[in-house]
Chain A
């Protein structure tokens, strides 16, 4: 059962964060008999804590430490943002691993590089990730059930001439599997799944790791700094417990998976005489190339009731626009995904007020909606940095998030909104709204993998170029964003990284 390790036990791998990346890498290591201490800033909820009450759940599991700049809707809780996510799990496509080769450098502000990993290399790990997460339509798992909102999306897309629309690729059990039940279409996925049908590390990776006897979860433990010896090798992690006391957990290696902003903050905050720009940052690339996808939403009033609030938050992906076709006026592609939202989220997406806005709200039962996610070119100036003077309640420098949409992103969103309009108008929509969705849910970049150490922070294993026993295990390592949601790729990379760490350890190289 769950172990406890001594603070001075330097044989453990310390994993920072228990979400998609951290929970996965920790469990994969523990399954191989490697001892792991997982430091998680948030507390541990149970399924009984999950209510169909978004504000209450935001209070229980949201991240409220001070940040300056663009907003991120991420979680501080065991399981991280896998408690809140929708579960859409597409693979990246071949061209998305070679963006510089496929698109060329877009302009002087962008910093595209190709991934030092290919789709072919990652394919077996995608298989393992899909099987682990129970992705619908893969590995003998049936497609997800088609909700009303999905059916409108699909019928409209077919009428508009699209072909590749599917209710597969959802990491929510359509039927019972792996000790978890099938989806009951409760529809509050963003507030945690009350029955555990949706994959979250809280009730998959974490308890599985605990059962190995090689894993300790330390909840309410905020990592603040990573320590190293004279040679630059990392030796431990300083963290703050619930009572505010600092401890150091010694470590053989450290895997960081704090969901991008926090990952960058830990590295930057671990500056020292040896690493004056922050740990693993001789390239100056830590925190840079922050990406969050081209985001957008489309909402339509249909001629008859849809009841989009019934059923899983998101079911359905349209892949037809994911390819690269410069004749559309932008590089890279996008996906459209059906999304059901509660009244507040619909109103908030539209953002406006007055009669135009309220026409949609008054027709809530007739609404259909979709979400746009597309490739976001990396730019060095889209970045996370530390505020020079301001500290938060944990006495950590406040992270500053600078992000602006590239013109490519705006052009892509316009195209996607026009496509969405065609989809809904083909079925007689009476009102249509399309626009930006200004919330950061998909966070990528800031410690990207690069073949050349000058271009990034980590190598093809997510291992720091500068410090061999530091690994980055979240979306920070993405060399580019691709179009689709990132979590499946985070999990695939984390599985692959755990294999690599185990192999290195066996060869006494770690």
Chain B
């Protein structure tokens, strides 16, 4: 698994008391999210689940998606700060620790920052990884690549049986 010393240092939880909430380092960002050893970070997983709440989809899938996002972002200087920024903005919205807030407050905090450029980038990133994730595909019955199976010509592209006939 990709080792990310620099990012870990950047994301290390610092208990620095800042003068305003808006610039305080987010209290819930992980030092180490969803590594191969299974250490999930509950807050990022929670964020992903609130964005795309599929009932019955395992937390491990959400955690894996955020892990991939994290790795992608950290290798791109333009994006490396985005999660930091978003976390601080969410904390500011709830005047404290976003992760500790109740679900309604967590959601309205996200709604309040969804117009921000940094959040749009995160949302696009999560969406791109999430809806290409094999765990999500399995959950919603999307089978992916079809050319190795000869397409759907003989596998049900026209098998719908419930439409009104001859109206």
Contacts and interface: CB of A to CB of B under 8 A. Distances in A.
A343 interface: yes
A100 interface: no
Contacts of A362: 54-55, 140
Contacts of A185: 151-153, 157
B152 A159 contact: no
A110 interface: no
B163 A155 contact: yes
Given A145-B158, A146-B158, A311-B157, A184 B53 contact: no
Given A186-B147, A344-B131, A347-B127, A365 B167 contact: no
Nearest to A307: B156
Interface stretch (A238-246, A350-358, A370-378, A384-392): A350-358
Contact of B54 (A52, A151, A358): A358
Nearest to B146: A186
Interface in B140-167: 140-147, 150-153, 155-160, 162-164, 167
Contact of A159 (B114, B128, B160, B164): B164
A347 B131 contact: yes
Given A52-B146, A186-B147, A353-B51, A152 B140 contact: no
Interface string A181-203: 00111111000001100000000
Contacts of B51: 353-354
Contacts of A176: none
Interface string A320-358: 000000000000000000000011101110000111011
A51 B148 CA distance: 10
A364 B127 contact: no
Contacts of A194: 147
A128 interface: no
A155 B158 CA distance: 14
How many interface residues does chain B have, given as a range? 35 or more
Nearest to B156: A310
A348 B125 CA distance: 11
A158 interface: yes
Contact of A187 (B54, B114, B130, B146): B146
B136 interface: yes
Interface in A111-166: 145-148, 151-152, 155, 158-159
Contact of B140 (A187, A348, A361): A361
Contacts of B163: 151-152, 155, 427
B80 interface: no
A304 interface: yes
B140 A186 contact: no
Contacts of A310: 146, 152, 155-157
Nearest to B155: A310
Nearest to B163: A155
Nearest to B143: A309
B107 interface: yes
A365 B107 contact: no
A306 interface: yes
Nearest to B165: A155
A4 interface: no
B132 to A, nearest CB: 6
Nearest to B56: A362
Interface of A: 50-55, 145-148, 151-152, 155, 158-159, 183-188, 194-195, 303-307, 309-311, 342-344, 346-348, 353-355, 357-358, 361-362, 364-365, 427
4 interchain residue pairs of minimum CB distance: A184-B151, A52-B145, A186-B151, A311-B157
12 contacts: A148-B158, A148-B160, A158-B167, A187-B146, A303-B162, A307-B157, A309-B143, A311-B157, A344-B128, A347-B127, A347-B130, A354-B107
